[in-house]
Amino acid sequence: MTDRRDDVDAGRRQFVGWGVAMAGATLAPGVMLFDLAHGRAPEAPAPRGVRWGMLVDATRCAPDCNACIVACAKEHGLPDGKRSTDAQWIRKVELKDLRSGRALGAPVMCQHCAKPPCVDVCPTGASFKRADGIVLVDRHTCIGCRYCMLACPYQARSFVHEPVVNPQPDVPRGKGCVESCTLCVHRIDRDRAPACVEACAAAGHRALVFGDLNDPGSEIAKRVASYATAPLRPGLGLDPGVRYHGI
């Protein structure tokens, strides 16, 4: 009687052991993927010491390509940018050198300044800078005064002039509030590159490089260290997180 019970217990232990092992083998990749997909837990603060930035290589920006703009509009549910009241978080500026006639183009978006004038002038503190350098607007405290739009030296901010259509779950937007490029913060927090950067790479240009400017091993830091880059309007001393090459 006792021996039989021991046999059953041994079988049960083996069964439970295999079950746990199989469950572990099944769940572990999922847990790992979940961890990868959510690079930062929702309640965790933005990492200090990181300075997210972007390098725009104007020499690689193809004249007839607007993949970055299309990707941004799709990612954030933005209008097509045909009217002056439409929000445009990124725009392609066509440039012609007044001396040489050389033509080139470069996308312009929020430059995510280290000393952002929009944050300084915002009366309610709705415009703010995260610890990792990303400049955002808190939709709940923006009163729509547009003072930040006057203050921005890059004309990078938009005002939502009409009720929002096509809202995206990761991108809170609202009529009467100011908004601008978030550097795709919802993707960064899941360890993904901004939509414009992915689209540029997919189009085969690789004119946009995203990464941590403070990490000497990152591609952006290496490229910034290896050839001449400059911010827009450097004389203002705002230390933008977006740098340009070839202008």
Partner 1 sequence: MPPVAANPQSESRRYWGLVALAALLALAGYAAAHHMDVNGHAVTGMDNRVVWGLPHVFAILMIVAASGVLNVASIGSVFGQAEYKARAPLAGLLCIALLAGGLFVLMLDLGRPERMVVAATHYNFTSVFAWNVFIYTGMFAVAAAYLWTLMERRMSRWSGPLGVAALVWRFVLTTGTGAIFAFLVARPAYGSALLPPLFIVLSFAWGLAVFLVAQAAAYAWCGRALPEAIHARMRRLLGVFVAAALYFSLVHHLVNAYFAQQQAFERFLLVDGGLYPLLYWGAFVAAGSVAPLALLWRRGAPSAASTLAAALLVLLGAFAWLYVFVIGGQAYPQPIFPGFDARSSFGDGAIARYAPRWPELVLGIGGVALAALVTLVGARAFAFVPEDPATTPAPAARGAGAD
Interface residues with partner 1 (CB under 8 A) are: 81-88, 91-99, 108, 117, 119-126, 140-147, 149-155, 157-163, 174-178, 232-233, 236, 247
Nearer to partner 1, 137 or 221 (CB): 137
Nearer to partner 1, 111 or 182 (CB): 111
Tokens for 62, please give them: 């193809």
- Min. distance of Cβ 216 from partner 1 in angstroms? 30
* Nearest CA among 196, 191, 213, 51 for reference residue 129: 51
- Min. distance of Cβ 134 from partner 1 in angstroms? 18
For 132-146, give one letter per residue: b (16+ CB within 10 A) or e. bbbbbbebeebeeee
Nearer to partner 1, 110 or 188 (CB): 110
Nearer to partner 1, 86 or 239 (CB): 86
φ and ψ of 244, to 5 deg: -120, 145
User: Is residue 164 within 8 Å of 156, Cβ to Cβ?
Assistant: no
User: Is residue 60 within 8 Å of 206, Cβ to Cβ?
Assistant: yes
- Min. distance of Cβ 63 from partner 1 in angstroms? 12
- Min. distance of Cβ 141 from partner 1 in angstroms? 5
* Nearest CA among 142, 97, 103 for reference residue 123: 142
* Nearest CA among 133, 135, 107, 134 for reference residue 121: 135
- Min. distance of Cβ 165 from partner 1 in angstroms? 12
φ and ψ of 211, to 5 deg: 170, -170
Nearer to partner 1, 145 or 192 (CB): 145
